[in-house]
Structure 1
């Protein structure tokens, strides 16, 4: 029998758990850190649910007739247009940072790797949702192939979409989400290669987080031990420029 924990149940359960933590909560510094919205959400989800708890998967007849594009619909830079015109034959995903074996992977190599298919719901911070079938390579497979070092704590995703002023989109996740079974580097949506609007040629799917964490137009991933030197130090473009939470778990 499977148990489904809703966000409401998660929060109520966390509150009940915290009711017995008087000594911990008496420390003002710990209290401020614990009860900030983002930290509390991350703590509650990670503490009360198994780390490999799966996001809900749906049946094929539940797939949305239209899967809207979130964020950028086309990077439209000279570099991206050249890759697109060539069918992404010259595109490569670079894997760097705290790894012993840096990688440069083509789209053909991704297609040849073991992959996973999952039908999941995309929840956008703008208030809409859509269900789609994704196919891609587990991120864990790539990180293991690159021989990621034990000192790495985060994976930074660098993208092709120009957000203005020469700033390309970037995001990051921690190792719990990076190695989650449903975290994949997707190259197909609804049994078709990704369209430009939906992130061609490769995008992240981290199914237990909101849409802005699902980085599109991937160009590189980097294993790091701190986010302090990434952008303005908050771990993602919208986190740095619009105050979004770094942890966007659902």
Structure 2
């Protein structure tokens, strides 16, 4: 176990250092093809290193109740202005549904009650932000893997895309909404959940209510909030600008493993 912890520590330090570099240089990244090429190679190295050193089911470190941060900082969007989302908030998400579609045999439309009845997991984990801060929280949610199995992924499916209700700025599809993606390795990881509770309470709006992604082996910007739809796709070319996520389309790495 100590060897695995050491390896994870090395990966985490490397990922945080690279993330800080990309954050400070994001504007230059979009203008410098050579830098983009170098970072893409580094991202591939990060992915290959983690997949080589850790098994597909190796868990991110989990903590105890006493380790939970008293003030878990919300970041990014904290109260989406989308009219449909605001109506759902006023209604207590009673009519809200999660859609799972795309390259699946049986598209799903699930209520919060449906998700709470699905196979679940509770985990106390550390959220590592690319901005350089960390917080520990307790998350409870539906495991993504059984939901995908229930929908029945088609053979050509290789990624899942998370479409969200929050708007940060204008996006290529004209909606401005946040989006993120995972490959099927991380989508099926046991700690990848769609969290509907935080610290034993319903997920707060500031942290992504009614549902947010937790993919604990990656950096914070991968933990998409306000998830409305999960779409199975064969490739990421048609998603945003083709890099697989809102921040990835602006220079961040797609694989943010730690």
TM class by shorter chain equals: 0.7 to 0.9
User: 1:10–1:218: structure 2 CA closer, same or farther, 3 Å change rule?
Assistant: closer
Query: Does 1:246 find its partner at 2:251?
Result: no
TM-fit CA distance, 1:70: 2.2
TM-score, with length taken from structure 1: 0.87
Query: Does 1:51 find its partner at 2:56?
Result: yes
Larger helix proportion of the pair: 2
The secondary structure found in structure 1 opposite 2:243 is: coil
TM-fit CA distance, 1:7: 4.8
Per the alignment, residue 30 of structure 2 pairs with none
- CA offsets per residue over residues 144-184 of structure 1, 9 Å max, x none? 00011121100000000012333100000001100000000
2-side partners of 1:127 and 1:33: how far apart? 22
User: 1:7–1:83: structure 2 CA closer, same or farther, 3 Å change rule?
Assistant: same
- CA offsets per residue over residues 92-112 of structure 1, 9 Å max, x none? 110011100000000111112
Q: Which segment is superposed worse, 46-55 or 231-240?
A: 46-55
Per the alignment, residue 236 of structure 2 pairs with 227
Per the alignment, residue 192 of structure 1 pairs with 201
Per the alignment, residue 21 of structure 1 pairs with none
**Aligned CA-pair RMSD:** 1.8
1-side partners of 2:63 and 2:90: how far apart? 34
1-side partners of 2:96 and 2:161: how far apart? 19
Consecutive aligned runs of 4 or more in structure 1 exceeding 4 Å deviation: 7-11, 32-35
Query: Does 1:71 find its partner at 2:76?
Result: yes
2-side partners of 1:92 and 1:34: how far apart? 38
TM-score, with length taken from structure 2: 0.85
Per the alignment, residue 22 of structure 1 pairs with none
Residue segments in structure 1 that go unaligned for 5+ positions in a row:
12-31
CA contact (8 A) 2:40 2:253 kept: no
The aligned runs of 1:1-250 (5 Å cut-off) are 3=3, 4-7=5-8, 9=10, 36-165=41-170, 166-240=175-249, 242-250=250-258
